Chains A and B, each alone.
Chain A
Amino acid sequence: MSDHSEAPPYILVVDDDELLNGLFCQFLLTKGFETLTAHSLVGAVELFKTGIAVDLILLDYQLPDGNGLELLDMMSLDPVAQHPPIIMISAKEDPVFLENCFSRGVADYIIKPVNLSLLALKVSALIKSVALQRVISVQNAELERFKKEAEREESVAKFTYEYLLRQNSRKIDGVSMWLKSSSSFSGDITLAKISPGGDLFFLLADATGHGLSAAITVMPVVSIFNTMVEKGFDLQAIVTEINKKLIRDTPQDRFVAAILIQTHQEQKKIDVWNGGMPTAYWVDEGEVLQAFTSRHMALGILDESMFDASVITCNFSGKGIIIAYSDGLIEEVNAQGSSFSSARMANLVRARVSNLHTFLITSLKEYTGRDQYRDDVSICMLELDKIFASCGKQLKDRPPRQWLP
């Protein structure tokens, strides 16, 4: 095909009748096309071998060295593959013959004696179709390039994101976190860290939307949580700061629902702040000791004057587990379109099973009949006795402070 979209289309006229060939060329020139001439199949093939770009072939069926259909074979053109469209010229009108022409890849057909006006219309229509195909093919190539570029950028961003998560969360005995992403990036995030004072800080957050945009929104949450826990701030200061940062640095329609938990090692109490997350449960032996319902709006919505950092405080009795999860869990649907639901969760957490965390994950899979979900789904379990033991051990093993004179 012609390389220059601005240049007039090139048409190759293959006809052994020099007079007729010249007439076609002259007529097509008057219609704004450029023409090339061949008088035999061999001549046409030779022309193609020079690499010349042709937009359409006007081909006489009866040629001295064979019939027009043989040109397809001689040029080794696959009738299905893209090649210049061919208009066959012949006096034959036999339907079987015509069918054969079209099945071999001929685009159109014109009967002798040739009606020049009809020829001009057919040539124009095919040239337009070729131009359109060319545009589509360019756009497809462009789309493919964008797609590859996006994939490359996403893989770099994913690496950075996962590195950030690895750096900011530690495996702590008694904390089980299960997260299933609906895309490469998760809008859900779970973090657990023990403070210098031996308190466990746990966070489960769910950012607006899914994928990269959701993941970007939770990134500031990760760094603030990590830094402030390390510096010994309490839960209320941490949620206040995260809220402030999200209000300042993220678009108005972006926010992060979150539940944060602090276990106080020395005072033996638990603080919980729940903003926009489903009810978390503190359960023991099938009994719900406390339900931590959402009392606040998600982080990143209310400005400082309206933001409420108050927490629910419970005394730790030395037993039980806390189950926290994202709304992706209760909104997942089964084959009948019924959601897993918060009511089902309220019942399931009362189950007397050896491992409630595994039980809930399995229950979701059995209910939906799938292990890939529409939304990001997280289920976390905090085993309080183990956590208090872990925190106590860390406090005991901590190197003594070095006082400088």
Chain B
Amino acid sequence: MANVATIRMPKRFDYSSSAEFNTKITAALASRGTITLDCNDLEYIDSAGIGLLVMSQKKVQAQQSDLVITNLKPAPREILQLANLQKIIAIT
């Protein structure tokens, strides 16, 4: 599936990120394809942030699109792996 949007993730991804992130996901869902979450800047994600990713995956899946997470640093990668997020979202 072609990449239709790349969302640059913030340094901290938690509940306070929800409004901005959801707006970007909604905009990206205008076209069907792969949405890439670029985590180059991401240093911290909490459970609320994981919740936002899970919710986005459900929205993206419902639109028959894909979500991909890239450029994860070791600390957030460990948190996402602990949550087994790779079971529902591709992490490259």
Contact = CB atoms under 8 A, between A and B. Distances in A.
A253 B83 contact: no
A253 B55 contact: yes
Contacts of B75: 339
Interface stretch (B1-9, B65-73, B84-92): B84-92
- Of A253, A275, A295, A301, chain B has the most CB atoms within 10 Å of the CB of A253
- Of B46, B51, B58, B88, chain A has the most CB atoms within 10 Å of the CB of B51
Contact of B47 (A209, A296, A302): A209
Contacts of A297: 83-85, 87-88
A252 B82 contact: no
B47 A257 contact: yes
Interface in A277-333: 277-278, 294-298, 301-302, 327, 331
A64 B92 CA distance: 87
B84 A253 contact: no
A208 interface: yes
Interface of B: 15, 18, 46-48, 50-52, 54-55, 58, 75, 78-79, 82-85, 87-88
A342 interface: yes
Contacts of A295: 84
A254 B48 CA distance: 8
* Interface of A: prevailing SS: loop
A327 B58 CA distance: 25
Given A208-B48, A327-B47, 9 more contacts: A209-B47, A209-B51, A252-B51, A253-B51, A276-B83, A294-B83, A295-B84, A297-B84, A297-B85
Nearest to A254: B51
Contact of B48 (A209, A275, A296): A209
Q: What band does the interface of chain A fall in when counting residues whose beta carbon is under 8 Å from B?
A: 20 to 34
A257 B87 CA distance: 15
* Interface of B: prevailing SS: helix
Interface string A234-275: 000000000000000000111101000000000000000001
A60 interface: no
Contacts of A301: 54, 88
A217 to B, nearest CB: 10
24 contacts: A187-B47, A207-B47, A208-B51, A209-B46, A209-B47, A209-B51, A253-B48, A253-B52, A253-B54, A253-B55, A255-B47, A257-B83, A275-B84, A277-B82, A294-B82, A294-B83, A294-B84, A295-B84, A297-B84, A297-B87, A302-B88, A327-B82, A331-B79, A342-B78
The 5 closest A-B pairs by CB, nearest first: A253-B51, A253-B55, A252-B55, A208-B47, A209-B48
- Of A206, A298, A302, chain B has the most CB atoms within 10 Å of the CB of A298
Nearest to B52: A253
B15 to A, nearest CB: 6
A252 B83 contact: no
Contacts of A187: 47
A252 B54 contact: yes
B84 A296 contact: yes
Contacts of B58: 252
Contacts of B54: 252-253, 255, 301
- Of B75, B84, B88, chain A has the most CB atoms within 10 Å of the CB of B84
Contacts of B84: 275-276, 294-297
